[in-house]
Chain A
Amino acid sequence: MKSQANTGKNITRRIAKDAVLLAIALIIFIVEAQIPFIPSVPGIKLGLSNVVSLYAMYKLGKSDTLMILLLRILITGIYTGQAVSILFSLSGGMCCFLVMLALVRFIPVRQAWVTSIFAAIAHNIGQITVAVFILGSVSVLLYLPVLIVSAVVTGAATGLVAQGVMIRIEKIRLS
């Protein structure tokens, strides 16, 4: 990501990379939607798409990450067919993005799982904030501790996956 000249080749390469990551994120989303994950507790899910966001954040930079994130939310929103779900993912995604943006400078790739956990917590806080407004009741906030616990667990899981991917890709120098 060092000051690359924005030649046509680089832009093409960047677009291709972003598109591949977006496609991966969408596939992860669709596959994940088929896995029931503690169905009795609403709002808890593994959030494997976070792997893609983390990878993009560490390897491609903030604007690429934001683009992938927003497009993913838009397309998955269309896929699920609910406007409300876009609202939820958007607030969750933006909180997640901002926290990643802040932490990515301090936390190295080898500790990406830490970033991931904080991002997951931020994601859930963002979602619950929207839930408070949509449902018009503050009592949803009582659900926050459960969501934080789940965020620590799922964030660590997805973070470790992302970390493993990044370290291995560094070794084989594909990118």
Chain B
Amino acid sequence: MSSRTFKTGTWIIIFAVIVAVSLGAAVFIRLIMKDRRTAVITVDSKVVRRIDLDAPYGDYTFTIKTSEGYNTVQVSDGKIRMLDADCRDRICVDHGWLEDNTLPIVCLPHKVVISFEEGS
């Protein structure tokens, strides 16, 4: 019992510091993750493109071609949507803009999914 390492008070300070640093890191990480929203486009469950929605280079559209047809994606003002597609139901186009982690845009006939990356 004589080999007491630190006094209890010292240990409490040590753990208080550990907790404070971790809390700081947790808050910091949360802030950073909030700032960067990343949309992920997958075709048949494979990631084909990651889009940083908070990137400063404004509006653009691009087209994904799959064996089933094409999907045109528009990124604008931190939002993303399916602008056009030649799938049969066009539910993905009717979905409208996606700007937070709610329902992902799904084009079932083409197996294209636009969703938010976890943690963003």
Q: Please list the residues of chain A having a beta carbon within 8 angstroms of any beta carbon in chain B.
A: 106-111, 114, 117, 121, 139, 142, 144-146, 148-149, 152, 156
Asked if A145 and B26 sit within 8 Å, CB to CB, the answer is: yes
| Bound Cα distance A152, B4 (Å) | 20
Asked if B29 and A107 sit within 8 Å, CB to CB, the answer is: no
Chain A residues near B103 (CB, 8 Å)?
none
Asked if A145 and B3 sit within 8 Å, CB to CB, the answer is: no
Asked if B33 and A142 sit within 8 Å, CB to CB, the answer is: yes
Asked if A145 and B22 sit within 8 Å, CB to CB, the answer is: yes
Asked if A149 and B29 sit within 8 Å, CB to CB, the answer is: no
| Bound Cα distance A111, B5 (Å) | 9
Residue A148 contacts which of B3, B18, B29, B119 (CB distance < 8 angstroms)? Answer: B18
Q: How far, in Å, is B39 (CB) from chain A's closest CB?
A: 15
Interface centre among B4, B5, B15, by most chain A C-beta atoms within 10 angstroms, is B15
Interface residues on B, range: 10 to 19
Interface centre among A109, A117, A145, by most chain B C-beta atoms within 10 angstroms, is A145
Chain A interface mostly helix, strand, loop or mixed? helix
Residue B119 contacts which of A139, A144, A156 (CB distance < 8 angstroms)? Answer: A139
Interface centre among B24, B26, B118, by most chain A C-beta atoms within 10 angstroms, is B26
B25 an interface residue at 8 Å Cβ cutoff? yes
Residue B4 contacts which of A111, A142, A145, A148 (CB distance < 8 angstroms)? Answer: A111
Given contacts A148-B22, A156-B15, 8 further A-B pairs with CB under 8 A are: A107-B5, A110-B1, A110-B4, A111-B8, A145-B22, A145-B26, A149-B22, A149-B23
Chain A residues near B11 (CB, 8 Å)?
111, 114
Asked if A106 and B5 sit within 8 Å, CB to CB, the answer is: yes
Chain A residues near B33 (CB, 8 Å)?
142
Q: Which of B1-40 contact A (CB under 8 A)?
A: 1, 3-5, 8, 11, 15, 18-19, 21-26, 29, 33
Asked if B119 and A142 sit within 8 Å, CB to CB, the answer is: yes
| Bound Cα distance A118, B54 (Å) | 39
Asked if A108 and B26 sit within 8 Å, CB to CB, the answer is: no
Can you report 29 residue pairs joining A to B where beta carbons are below 8 Å apart?
A106-B3, A109-B1, A111-B4, A111-B5, A111-B8, A111-B11, A114-B5, A114-B11, A121-B18, A139-B118, A139-B119, A142-B29, A142-B33, A145-B22, A145-B23, A145-B24, A145-B25, A146-B26, A148-B18, A148-B19, A148-B22, A149-B19, A149-B22, A149-B23, A149-B26, A152-B18, A152-B19, A152-B22, A156-B15
